[in-house]
C-alpha cells in the first residue's frame, strides 16, 4: 500500500491529497529518509510524520483494505511518539490561546499599552 494512502486510511491526514503533499514536502520519513507518496509501506515499518510542528512516530502493524474508523485505527498502527513531543502539543495550545482570536476586532487601548510596555522591555534587554 502507498504511504500516502496508508496515512489517510489510518486517519493521520484528513484527505489523501494532504498526505501526498506532506510526503512531497519531506514531512514523512521512513527509516530516516524522506519518501515519495508512491513508496510502499510494509508491516514493521516505522514512519515519522511532522504535522503541526510535532514529530509523530508510528509503527505499521497491518495494512487496511480501505479507510478505517477512528476507533479501529489503532489495530493497524502503533503510536510510538515520545512523551516530550506530545507535551510540545500542549504548549502550542496554550500559546495559541494567548493571541487574539481572528475577528476579535481592533486592539483596545489596554492591548496597545501592553504591547508598548513589551517593546520597551525588550529594547532595554537588548541595550544591556
pTM of the model: 0.70
CA 59-30-79 angle, to 5 degrees, is: 25
pLDDT above 80 (res 97): no
Question: What are the residue ranges of CATH 3.10.290.10 in the chain?
Answer: 1-81
pLDDT value of position 128 = 58
Q: Which helix (H) or strand (E) holds 93?
A: helix 83-98
Cβ atoms within 10 Å of 25's Cβ, excluding its own: 10
Q: In terms of CATH, what superfamily is 1-81? A: RNA-binding S4 domain (3.10.290.10)
Residue 100's alpha-carbon distances to 52, 103, 111, 115, in angstroms, are 20, 9, 10, 13
Tens digits of residue pLDDT in 35-87: 999 999 999 999 999 988 889 999 999 999 999 998 999 999 998 988 888 88
Amino acid at each position: 500500500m502507498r504511504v500516502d494512502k496508508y496515512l489517510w486510511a489510518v486517519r493521520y491526514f484528513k484527505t489523501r491529497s494532504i498526505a501526498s503533499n506532506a510526503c512531497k514536502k519531506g514531512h514523512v520519513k521512513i527509516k530516516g529518509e524522506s519518501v515519495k507518496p508512491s513508496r510502499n509501506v510494509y508491516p514493521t515499518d516505522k514512519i515519522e510524520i511532522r504535522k503541526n510542528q510535532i514529530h509523530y512516530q508510528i509503527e505499521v502493524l497491518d495494512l487496511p483494505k480501505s479507510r478505517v474508523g477512528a476507533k479501529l485505527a489503532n489495530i493497524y498502527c502503533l503510536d510510538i511518539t515520545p512523551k516530550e513531543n506530545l507535551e510540545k502539543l500542549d504548549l502550542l495550545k496554550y500559546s495559541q490561546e494567548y493571541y487574539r482570536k481572528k475577528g476579535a476586532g481592533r486592539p483596545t487601548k489596554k492591548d496597545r499599552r501592553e504591547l508598548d510596555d513589551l517593546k520597551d522591555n525588550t529594547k532595554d534587554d537588548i541595550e544591556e
